[in-house]
Structure formats: structure tokens, C-alpha cells
Structure 1
Amino acid sequence: MAKTTIKKIGLEMDARLYGELSKLAKKNGQSRRFLLEKALEHYLQFVVPSQGTVRPEVMSHFRRSTDKNRKLHELLAR
């Protein structure tokens, strides 16, 4: 297995979140670092890609609605 390169960072975070993180890490026998890495991996893999994506059926409905109501939009814009 390839050795992972580690990058040391300094981090400031909300004290309440830090407390929750610490409690969860202790309860599960895991390190805070492990939990933060897993949370960041999840965020980068699932959350970030979905932020710029609109489902095709939603976009299709939007286009139909815009075309259907174009005259109304023009009247309201005056």
C-alpha cells in the first residue's frame, strides 16, 4: 500500500462543534483527525459536486415554463 503524504494545518473552529467532535471521537474510539478527514472526504465527494448540478427534469420544466410565460415576463419587466 502506498504511504499517504500528510500535510499539517492550523485550524480554528466553533467551540461547540469542537466539543461535539471531541465527544464523538471519544465515544467511538476514533481520533478527531480521523473524523475530520472522513467528513471532508464525504463533503468533497458528495456535496461539492451536487452544488452546481440541476437535475435535467428540473431544468426542462424551467425552460418550458419560461417559454410559456415569456410575454408575461416581458410585461412585468416594464
Structure 2
Amino acid sequence: MPRIGPGRPRVRPDRVRADKAYASRKNRAYLRRRGIRCTIPDKADQARNRQKLGSRGGRRISTRPTTASATRSSVGSTASRDTTP
């Protein structure tokens, strides 16, 4: 980095360009924490997984009940609502 005026030369760059090998979350977080902007292309599989999640944003939505009592209560309520002989 060139020196701006007198004194010690700057060490921290304004922006970093890197290849796909440095596209990890830790590397990006480190640069963000130090206030360094980065230009790193995404890996194809990571971009595909992010698009696949869509608006869910990484949250896992389970369709299965979490406990046995939830299963029993849902079955019981279905049976009690059934009015056919």
C-alpha cells in the first residue's frame, strides 16, 4: 500500500480480491470484522444450496412431530372430529 503523507505506510488494504479457495464463511467474517471489503467469487455448490433454500434462509422446517404426545393428540383429535359411522 502506498503511503499517504508522512509516516508509516498503511498495512490494511481497502479491498481484497481472492479466488474461490478463500470463499469460506470464516475468511469473509474475518475481513468484515477488520473493515476490509472483499471480492471473492462463490463456489457453485454453495450458490446452488443457497438458492435451493430460497426464502427459508437456512432454517430447517420439520414436518414430523417432535414428541410422541404430539402424535397421539393429533390422532385423537382427528378421531374425535370424525362423525361418520
TM-score for both structures, normalised by structure 1 = 0.29
Larger radius of gyration: 2
More strand by share: 2
More helix by share: 1
